[in-house]
A and B are shown apart, each in its own frame.
Chain A
C-alpha cells in the first residue's frame, strides 16, 4: 500500500489522488514521480534507513538539497528540524553512533525536510521499545498537527493503535474495517 501511495508501484486498478491532485487514473498522470515524492511525500522507514556515510544533519539536509536548496540553507533547515525533534546535540553523529530512538527522530526530521503534505511511515516503532515507540508516535502526531501533514502509519503494533485518529485494517491486501476516534 505504501508503495502505491508513494508512487513507486502502479496500482492494479482505481485512482490515486494525493493532496487533491489526481496522479493515477489507469496510468500515471505525472511524468516526474520522483519530483512528486521529493516535494509532497516524506518517508519514515522501519529501520530508519539513514545513509550510513552521512552524519545526522547531512542525512536531513540531503532531502532539502535534492529539492534544490544550497548546502548552507539545507544545513540551517536540518538544524531547525533536529532542534524541533530534540536531537540537536547529535547533529554531527554518524548513524552508527545514534541510539534507535535518536536515529528514528533523525529519520523523521529527514521526512519533514521539504515540508511534505503526506508522511508515510512503515513500521516506525518496530525497532523501538514500547516507551520509545510511544515517544515517536507522539512526535508524529505533533508533526502532523504543526505541519498540517497527513501521517499514514503502517504497523502491526497494537499498543499504539489508540494514538491514531483513523485506523484501517487490511487483511490479504483488502480493506477489512475502518474505525475512527470520532466514531
Chain B
C-alpha cells in the first residue's frame, strides 16, 4: 500500500493544480534551454552552410561575424593560387532593413560568387542564382515567396529560391545575392553623396571591390591548421579553421546570451525548488496528526520519509512530463528557433529529481520532528 499515492489521491485537486503551475515553470526552463540551443544552431548554421575549411579574414581580426573584416576583392585570386587549395570564394555580409508588404524586415544579406564557395546551401524550393544581378535566394523565415520582389538598398531583387532555417547570429533571416550586388549594397553611395565626394577629392575613385572574407576548401591531404599558419604569414591576412570560427561564434558572439539564459534558467530552477519545498512543507503540516498516529502505531521513520519524498518526486515527475509535452506542442510558435535536444531534456529530468529531493528536505525534517505523543493529545 503506497501511502504517498493514497494521500495524493485524497488531495488530488490541490496536487494537480500545483503540478500545473510547476509544469509551466519547467516548460519555461525547457524553453530557455531550447532558446540557448537554438541560438547556437542559428549562429553556426551560416558557418556550416558555407562548407569552408578555412576562413581568410582581415589581418588581426576574428571576422567576419565576431569583428568587422574587410579584404581587397582580389584576395580570392591570391588565396586560390596557394598550394593545397581546392576551391575558394569571396563573401560579403551585411544586415539590412527592407520594407516588405508594409512591414520593415531585418535581413542578413550574404553576397557570394556564382558557382563558388559561400553560395546558398541546399534549397527547399526554387533554383540557384543564375543571373549575375538582381536575383536573390531567401530563407523561409523572411516570409518571401518565389517570384516575389524585394527592394534591398537601391536595387530590387527577385526571389528565385528558398532555404530553410538559415539565419544570422542575431536571428535575422538570410538572403543570398551575388557578390557584385552585395558589394553595391554595402559600398555604393547615393548619387548625391557620390557627387559630393567627387567634388571634395577630384580624380579619386572609390573602390567597392571589397569582401568580408574568403572561404577556402582544401585538397584532401592538406591540414587546415598548416594552411592557416601559412596564410597568417601574410601580415594583412588572418585565417581561422572552420572549428575556430565555430568556437568564436559560440564562445564570443553568443556568450552573453548564453550566460543570461543560464542565469535565468538557474533562477527558474530555484523558484521551482522553493515552490515544491513550500507545497511539500504545507502538505506535511496538514498531515501532522496522521504522521503522529502512524509513528504511534509503529510506522518506521523510513516509511514517513518515503511518504514525503515520493510525493515530492511524483510532483516533479508529473510536472516535468506535462511541461515537456507543453513545450513540444508550442515550440513552433516562438519567434526564434527552439532546439529541444534529448540530452538536455534528460539532464533537466535529473535536475528536477534532485530539486525534488532537495525541496522535500524541509518536509522530511518537520515529519521526523513530529512527536508520536501528539496523536494522544486529542
Q: Which residues of A contact B (CB under 8 A)?
A: 2-3, 6, 8-9, 34-35, 37-39, 43, 45-47, 49, 51-54, 58, 61-63, 65-67, 71, 74, 94, 110, 122-123, 126
Contact = CB atoms under 8 A, between A and B. Distances in A.
B1 A122 contact: no
A3 B293 contact: no
A66 B297 contact: yes
Interface in B322-378: 371-373, 375-376, 378
Contacts of B376: 2-3, 6, 8, 43, 45-46, 122
B150 interface: no
Given A49-B375, A61-B1, A6 B296 contact: yes
Contacts of A53: 3, 6-7, 9-11, 290
Contacts of B11: 53
Contacts, number: 77
Contacts of B298: 34-35, 37-39, 63, 66-67
B3 A49 contact: no
A35 B293 CA distance: 14
Nearest to B6: A53
Nearest to A111: B297
Contact of A37 (B7, B289, B297, B378): B297
A84 B298 CA distance: 23
Nearest to B9: A53
B1 A71 contact: yes
B378 A62 contact: no
A113 B295 CA distance: 16
Q: Is the interface of B mostly helix, strand, loop or mixed?
A: helix
Contact of A46 (B10, B372, B378): B378
B300 A34 contact: yes
Interface residues of B, number: 24
Given A8-B372, A66-B299, A66-B303, A123 B378 contact: yes
A43 B296 contact: yes
Given A45-B375, A122-B376, A52 B297 contact: no
B296 A37 contact: yes
B299 to A, nearest CB: 5
B282 to A, nearest CB: 15
A62 B1 contact: yes
Contact of A49 (B1, B10, B293, B300): B293
A71 B299 CA distance: 15
Please provide the 5 A-B residue pairs with the shortest distance between their CB atoms, ordered closest to farther: A38-B298, A53-B10, A53-B7, A46-B378, A49-B293
B305 to A, nearest CB: 14
B294 interface: yes
A128 B370 CA distance: 28
22 contacts: A2-B376, A3-B373, A3-B376, A6-B296, A34-B295, A35-B298, A37-B297, A43-B296, A45-B293, A46-B378, A49-B290, A51-B293, A53-B3, A53-B7, A53-B11, A62-B1, A62-B299, A67-B298, A94-B10, A110-B297, A122-B378, A126-B378
A34 B296 CA distance: 8
A130 B5 CA distance: 38
B378 A47 contact: yes
A71 B2 CA distance: 10
A33 to B, nearest CB: 9
Interface string B297-317: 111100100000000000000
Nearest to A123: B378
Most chain B beta-carbon contacts within 10 A, residue among A49, A66, A94: A49
Most chain B beta-carbon contacts within 10 A, residue among A8, A63, A67, A123: A8
Contacts of B293: 45, 49, 51
A150 B9 CA distance: 37
Given A3-B373, A34-B295, A53-B6, 20 more contacts: A2-B376, A8-B296, A8-B376, A34-B300, A39-B298, A43-B375, A47-B378, A49-B293, A49-B375, A51-B293, A51-B294, A53-B9, A53-B10, A58-B6, A62-B297, A63-B297, A65-B1, A66-B300, A66-B303, A122-B376
A151 B3 CA distance: 29
A54 B4 CA distance: 11
B289 A49 contact: yes
Contacts of B373: 3, 8-9
A48 B294 CA distance: 13
A159 B294 CA distance: 31
A9 B375 CA distance: 13
A95 to B, nearest CB: 10
Nearest to B371: A8
Nearest to B297: A63
Nearest to A8: B373
Nearest to B286: A52
Contact of A54 (B6, B297, B299, B300): B6
A47 B289 CA distance: 11
Nearest to A33: B298
Nearest to A53: B10
A34 to B, nearest CB: 5
Nearest to A70: B1
A34 B303 CA distance: 12
